[in-house]
Amino acid sequence: MAPQNPNPNGSGYVTPDSLEYPSNAPVHPTAARRTVPVVVQSQNTSYSDAHITAKFEYRGAHVTEQGGFIQVTPTVEKFEFQTQRKVSKTGLMMIGLGGNNGTTMTATIIANRHNISWRSKEGIHTPNYIGSLVRASTMRLGTDPITGKDFNIPISDVLPMVHPNDLVIGGWDISGLPLDKAMYRAQVLDYDLQRQVAPHMSGIHPMPSIYYPDFIAANQSDRADNLIPGQDKQVHLERIRADIREFKAANGLDRVIVVWTANTERYAEIIPGVNDTSANLLNAIKASHSEVSPSTVFAVASILEGAPFINGAPQNTFVPGCIELAEKHRSFIGGDDLKSGQTKVKSVLAEFLVNAGIKPRSIASYNHLGNNDGKNLSSSAQFKSKEISKSSVVDDMVDANHLLFKPADKAAGEKKGEHPDHLVVIKYVPSVGDSKRAIDEYYSEILMNGRSTINIFNECEDSLLAAPLILDLTLLAELLTRVTYRREGEAEFQPLYSVLSLLSYMLKAPLVKPGTDVVNALSRQRNALEQFLKACLGLQNESDLLLNTRIW
């Protein structure tokens, strides 16, 4: 019997070319435009055409141990926050624009901007921003007074934020391929999507970048065909600064955010007189010192141009002199290393174990991947940077529980207390491409010397997890440039501190103000961000105690 023709109105079977894409397809909720603004009815919050001004009481506690008892003194510090309501016209400049993350981010924005549908073997798909904290997650604003149920809204709706479709994309890469060809090389997105966004990307060419072979793996040299000439690092600095200025002017931008999403570098050596102060660092750049990395040159250029700089890789871009320079210029910086899959799970699971009174004895993490990041990390010096950022993710949780882990004996000169054995392995396997495999073993001590082992196998498309983080870092960094504050008794509002630790949720090795504690626990990082957004509206954080609906 002859097979039935599934396309009775035509002469043959249904083929991809004979199917039409949906016209006027609905926009995915994660890409929708903000339509319902939040208005706080309170004497603590006021609105003008230009600003949202909010008073906020930060409640904490001072704790001391003395005389055989622990003394707790509740504290209240009063702040006033002012947020500009007008969203900046914003450009995103990526270092590594032609890499997997850069091309995936650019194609995603273009597909959403033009509402481009595409077809895979599973059917027709519409563009979205799934994976973005800002665009695809919600937060609890309060409770509905009638039903008593939680009222949750998209994080993007809490305060005025840039819509990602409006971002202007540019950047640098040591490879000169136009972005359509770089996207094909990356092999991340479905081909039918690539085919449709390619005409929009073919005209985007990465600007020449800087290439110091000592800082990245030798196996990257075949890509290095798009370079700012010469070895003079001061000339390189001035060229990058000019690129930022010209990109901003050419596109009529109010703000440029610069994100490092290029290859992982080796750690730069911290040398007194070279990169320990801002003055020494600037002099080291003038002298083209060998320990000034490409990422630090980009960071310094961004700081001097007033463009927030985010380090999405694990190297120590922010040497002490770079942080000091940002403080002096009141420029914003954030880092380090995008926290996408395995490390994010690790921060959650380690927190669960320690908070449950279970003692992790060892955490062993194995990865293999086949994208260019994996190729670069096959070099031992670059892998060391990644190993450091991945290994520090449980430190604050361990340090918080002295019942399970013996703290350092400072009197005996110990710098670090008891800590789980922590092993990180990354291997380059070209055939798996961007689809990274991660295996974790959590080996823990339980009651009466018992043992518990948790094994996790995780497979993910690396760049499809990383790109939304770049988006979140950009949108939140832009927002934070529009927030100023003053303490009670101060006359003038001032910008936030230069190191944007509120971005820690997206980063493996959070950069914080020198002398303050690093928070790696994912729930604390998320809570801090939510509470800050509420503080900008004059809302006290409504705890999970839920006294308004129940008395326990």
Check 248, 339, 344, 386 and give the catalytic one.
386
Residue 70, pLDDT score: 95
Is residue 90 within 8 Å of 256, Cβ to Cβ? yes
Q: How far apart are CA 465 and CA 459, in angstroms?
A: 11
For the beta sheet containing 51-66, the strands, ordered from the edge strand earlier in sequence to the opposite edge, are 45-47, 51-66, 69-84, 483-487, 494-495
User: Is 534 annotated in the active site?
Assistant: no
What are the tokens at 27?
Answer: 């926009």
For the beta sheet containing 450-461, the strands, ordered from the edge strand earlier in sequence to the opposite edge, are 421-428, 359-369, 435-446, 450-461
Q: How far apart are CA 4 and CA 11, in angstroms?
A: 12
User: Is 375 annotated in the active site?
Assistant: no
Whole-angstrom CA distances from 244 to 88, 224, 313 are 16, 21, 21
- For residue 373, what are the β-bridge partners? none
User: Is 337 annotated in the active site?
Assistant: yes
Closest CA to 495 of 505, 508, 504, 486: 486
pLDDT in single tens digits along all 552 residues of the chain: 333 433 434 433 434 454 567 667 789 999 998 777 899 999 999 999 999 999 999 999 999 998 889 999 999 999 999 999 999 999 999 999 999 999 999 999 999 999 999 999 999 999 999 999 999 999 999 988 888 888 999 999 999 999 999 999 999 999 999 999 999 999 999 999 999 999 999 999 999 999 999 888 777 788 889 999 999 999 999 999 999 999 999 999 999 999 999 988 989 999 999 999 999 999 999 999 999 999 999 999 999 999 999 999 999 999 999 999 999 999 999 988 899 877 888 888 999 999 999 999 999 988 888 777 777 766 666 666 656 656 677 888 888 899 999 988 888 888 888 989 988 888 888 888 878 888 999 999 999 999 999 999 988 888 999 999 999 999 999 999 999 999 999 999 999 999 999 999 999 889 998 888 888 888 999 999 999 999 999 998 776 766 666 555
Is residue 261 within 8 Å of 174, Cβ to Cβ? no
Strand pairing class (138-143; 150-154):
antiparallel
Q: How far apart are CA 267 and CA 197, in angstroms?
A: 37
Is the sign of the CA dihedral 285, 290, 295, 296 positive or negative? negative
Q: What DSSP line would sit under 142-189, residue for residue? A: EE-TTT--EEEEEGGGTS----GGGPEEEEEESS---HHHHHHHHT-S
What are the tokens at 311?
Answer: 């380090």
Quote the distance between the C-alpha of residue 460 and its chain's center: 17
Q: How far apart are CA 58 and CA 2, in angstroms?
A: 76
Chain position carrying tokens 């103000």: 513
342-462 maps to CATH 3.30.430.20: no
Q: How far apart are CA 101 and CA 107, in angstroms?
A: 10
Q: Residue 370: how many CA atoms within 13 Å on its side-chain side?
A: 12
Q: How far apart are CA 248 and CA 93, in angstroms?
A: 10
Is residue 33 within 8 Å of 113, Cβ to Cβ? no
Q: How far apart are CA 103 and CA 184, in angstroms?
A: 9
Whole-angstrom CA distances from 195 to 181, 201, 202 are 11, 10, 11
Tell me phi and psi for residue 111, to 5 degrees.
Answer: -60, -40
Residue 413, pLDDT score: 84
Residue 73, pLDDT score: 95
Using CB atoms within 10 A of its CB, is residue 130 exposed (0-12), middle (13-18) or buried (19+)? Answer: middle
Closest CA to 376 of 213, 194, 552, 209: 213
Residue 8, pLDDT score: 38
Check 339, 344, 436, 534 and give the catalytic one.
436
CA angle 112, 132, 498 (to 5 degrees): 115
What residue ranges of the chain are covered by domains with CATH 3.30.360.10? 342-462
What's the whole-model pTM score?
A: 0.90
Using CB atoms within 10 A of its CB, is residue 453 exposed (0-12), middle (13-18) or buried (19+)? Answer: exposed
DSSP reduced 3-state for 80: strand
Give the CA radius of gyration of the chain.
25
Is residue 297 within 8 Å of 340, Cβ to Cβ? no
Tell me phi and psi for residue 396, to 5 degrees.
Answer: -70, -30
Q: How far apart are CA 342 and CA 458, in angstroms?
A: 7
Residue 19, pLDDT score: 54
What are the tokens at 514?
Answer: 């020198």
Residue 11, pLDDT score: 39
Q: How far apart are CA 449 and CA 454, in angstroms?
A: 17
User: Is 233 annotated in the active site?
Assistant: no
What are the tokens at 13?
Answer: 């079977």
Q: How far apart are CA 155 and CA 177, in angstroms?
A: 36
Closest CA to 480 of 90, 137, 132: 90
What residue ranges of the chain are covered by domains with CATH 3.40.50.720? 90-338+465-535
- For residue 459, what are the β-bridge partners? 437
Is residue 328 within 8 Å of 304, Cβ to Cβ? no
What is 90-338+465-535's CATH number, 3.30.450.60, 3.40.50.720, 3.40.50.2300, 3.10.129.10? Answer: 3.40.50.720
Is residue 210 within 8 Å of 264, Cβ to Cβ? no
CA angle 164, 167, 171 (to 5 degrees): 125
Check 173, 337, 396, 434 and give the catalytic one.
337
